[in-house]
Structure 1
């Protein structure tokens, strides 16, 4: 009797049947880009803690993925699900590449698109969509991560101008950005500001010596008496709901992206186990190995089913913040567990950059805590279930 041919992990439940033809075309185009332009260099970029971000941004702009789910101003205007599938492929290559696209499109661009003036949109969105300009998003501070309402960065009126002072931390793209969306306390409410990074008093020293997201630019933002005109403020954002709305856009991409990293690890582990001889037979022929692979594949498929469900809810305009928290909480947690388990199948080879597994595992340690820690998302889901907030 002929043994059945192996199937890819995401083919177990025939998930492609849940995806439209146009969405598949977008997904496949991003996958080809990653195969041709990213994967051949990724281990070196990670090891050297370097990313040719300017070149990649322009190429990603030509591909059409920067702000791809936004309408107008040079943006592609795709479905949210198509954007999620693009994030899935980008993170299968590396979390740093997906972070570049997420911060550009779902944080900096989305903030301007959703809350900005027509002048701000026309000035920045076409440049950001094309990758000719780089954007970043300044919310997190050294002492205020999970509690952004306590931020110390402030903006004071000085005649018609604003004067910004403060420090932001862990800002993707910060050191190479042309524009920063910075959130600050004012005498009234938290407001967002569009800050050209060549403004006097603005600096963005890069954070180095990272063991995670090494192929990503991570920075501190320092604002020392940065003077901005009155029209630098985002007119439609007042209060903490503005930045939190932006964060939900970025978290949605993570819901799809993290399982991409898990998929890459699992496919690598399956291929390795099939071809690695142990005691004169393939490692994949042992029951314990197959049990690991089966459990991981089940969790991966469940994560993608969850992502696709949230994608359809978002496309229908019915998604709620606590639903995104369910996706972020589950999918990152399970993806990290898959990456760690795959490392055990590769054994010593699993810690080298000859394989992508340890790189993804290290990256997912960051994804686990940025855009809301697991604990914050647990409390968000808990509040939805009980009607009681337990954040403090």
Structure 2
């Protein structure tokens, strides 16, 4: 499985991210011959705030020697895998490693990520459209239930959530519709600066006769008891009884993919595609549900994703992989989800046709990681990894990297390492 599971409750991890999302409302190198246009600006907009843009000129000064063409990398990839498996590294073992197939791509990019942006009117209209689509428009008084979490208007701390937050209809002149939400026993939606962040149509809590807010379904409260998990490709033909009817895992994955490809509410930008790589099957009372991971792809290369959970931040560059789960509990499609909206805007800052091949990257990694580390590498592949460079900064930059995940045998910790294929820079964390 591509992501390394965290040993904490999914509910805790997701709830933490929801808090972060809401808080945003408050708060001599070898160079290729490519003609690279620096499309960066002084600032980027994320979580509705301005952040200092990544210094791409400084990055280009660090481009490393020993890179080869993308075509040559693809031609020697199979041989590189055999070389890596047969080599005796002092601190890395690849004896049982699963290597992903090399994606098909023409260029490598360093990219900035920014908000798509959403107005209050767009948030209001999408909430209404969504209520109609799930058949609950008549059950929800929009003027009462549509709220917005924002620092621009004072909250009423004497009221319970969500009524402590201002009514959206009374503040349509706000600078952004990010933070708009509905959270009742019938249904739930929360909107971020890129569009919908979390949603539940209420089917799960109603089937279980849980009278609490429907957000429980979006936040994974019912998906802890897992009976099967793995790659969608491996479980595609398997099926379990759902709230109504049966779907194979593969059919459910296609429904989830189509749902998000249609936009929630914004369309995907050109070059962005979606995949549904993994699934967990969980019990829901006397039936079952499918919990899918949703992954972005940019021009052929996957963007790194992970499960909810906690991890250490030992490097200056902090990997900030996508986190998104979608729940299918009947034959109609997605009933709930929470996480990264794929309409976030990616801007290419730099492009290149030269990269570190797999064996060269592993050799450099072995030479540069701490001697007290001894990693049994279980999985490896090529991905874009979103990175932040300060816990106080909201700026995200995506780098093309070889990903290595496994166990540090010295400490018994799970570990993920990303090696930048253009500079050799390492980003990593432990769990």
Please indicate, yes or no, whether the TM-score normalized by the shorter chain is above 0.5. Answer: no
State the structure with more CA Rg: 2
Work out which structure has the larger RCO, using CA pairs closer than 8 Å and 6 or more positions apart in sequence.
2
TM-score relative to the length of structure 1: 0.25
What's the TM-score once normalised by structure 2's chain length? 0.23
The structure with the greater share of residues assigned to strand is 2
